[in-house]
Structures are given as structure tokens and as C-alpha cells.
Chains A and B, each alone.
Chain A
Amino acid sequence: EVLLVESGGGLVQTGGSLRLSCAASGFTFRDYWMTWVRQAPGKGLEWVAHIKKDGSEKYYVDSVKGRFTLSRDNVKYSLYLQMNTLRAEDTAVYYCARVTRGNGYNLDYWGQGTLVSVSS
């Protein structure tokens, strides 16, 4: 069974940092691109960042470029999102998701999400 479990969310002050983790199991992690998607309270979905299977390519939405860093450890079956200089508008549930193999960058498995709250 494919499982993705996020952790690391919490309450942080504006300008602070958090590191989110996503533990993967049930599939060969190194064979898949991975993604983070976030959802602000009561709002829609926002694609945040995307990393290639071997970590050699990363893509970010403009609003987090220079502040968030995506990485992965294919030995530990883990995905990470280092979030620095956090802003109130980063408050959201953060989901990690697996990208399907072939047929585009579709997200076929998602974690349960971890809540990040940024306050002043």
C-alpha cells in the first residue's frame, strides 16, 4: 500500500523557519517525481514545488522562490521542504504527493497533510 505521511508543521512566527518531512512507503521512491501542494484555510489548492526522481531538477512557484528549498533522500524514502522567512500568507495545510509515471504530472497519491500556521 502506498503511504505518504507528512510531519513538521506547527505554529511559527513571521520570519521564522520550519522543515516539513514526508515519509514514503509502499513504492520505489527513487522512481517517482514528488510534489508539495498547499491549501490555505477555506481556500483552493496551490502547487508549491516539484522535484525530479534523482533530485537534480526542482521547480517552485514564484511566491516561494528563494525562501523554500525542496530536497529528497532516496535512501530514507523521504521528501523535505525547508521553509525560511515565513509569511502570514504561507499559512496552509501542506500536502506531499506522488507524481504518476507517464501521462503528465498527475498526483495519484497524497499524504494527509500537515498544518503550518504563521503568525505575527
Chain B
Amino acid sequence: DIQMTQSPSSVSASVGDRVTITCRASQGISNWLAWYQQKPGKAPNLLIYTASSLQSGVPSRFSGSGSGTDFTLTISSLQPEDFATYYCQQTNFFPFTFGPGTKVDIK
């Protein structure tokens, strides 16, 4: 199975900050990577697919990049509603493994 890692596991940031989260796959997955946001007690929400495509309705302050094994999710200017946990997921090989998550909280 492909192992997904994320760093950092948590980050404290302020409104307006630029936040970058890294996701790494244990082997190459081309650009078959998605990012999800999850708030406490809620289902995840798709933000980015195929590494860099913005899902409809998602604010443009979210962006993704990368291919192969290394990927990043960037929030250009953190907003109050962005405090949440973020997960990457590879969809190149079954099982479609998720990363362990990165919690973004208020500094």
C-alpha cells in the first residue's frame, strides 16, 4: 500500500497568514492527489483534485501543487473559517490512502 505522510501535523497561525502543508507519497502517484478540509463534527469537504485543480465553489486562496511524490496545499491568506484539519489522499492505487492530517488552529 502507498503510505501518505503530512507535515506539519499541526500549525498555529493567525488570520491573514500564509499557510503551507506538505504531503508526501511513498511512491510516485503522478498527480492523482486530492486535498480535503474537515471541521469538527462534520464530513470532509473536497478542496483540490488532481493535485492543483480547484473544486467548484472553493475560494481561490486555496491552491495545490506537486506531482510524483511531493505535494503542497497553500492557503494564501488564512481566514477564520479555514481553521480545520486538512487531509491529502492519493487516488492512483487501491487502497486510496489518506494522509494523517494537519490541524490548523488559531495562534
- By a beta-carbon cutoff of 8 Å, the part of chain A in contact with chain B is 37, 44-47, 50, 59-62, 95, 97, 100, 103-108, 110-113
Contact = CB atoms under 8 A, between A and B. Distances in A.
Interface stretch (B13-21, B48-56, B67-75): B48-56
A44 B100 contact: yes
B95 interface: yes
Nearest to A59: B94
Interface of B: 1, 32, 34, 36, 38, 43-46, 49-50, 53, 55, 87, 89, 91, 94-101
A60 B96 CA distance: 10
Given A104-B50, A111-B43, A45 B95 contact: no
Nearest to B55: A108
Interface of B is mostly: loop
A44 B87 contact: yes
B49 A44 contact: no
Contacts of A37: 44
Question: Max chain B CB contacts within 10 Å: which of A37, A50, A106?
Answer: A106
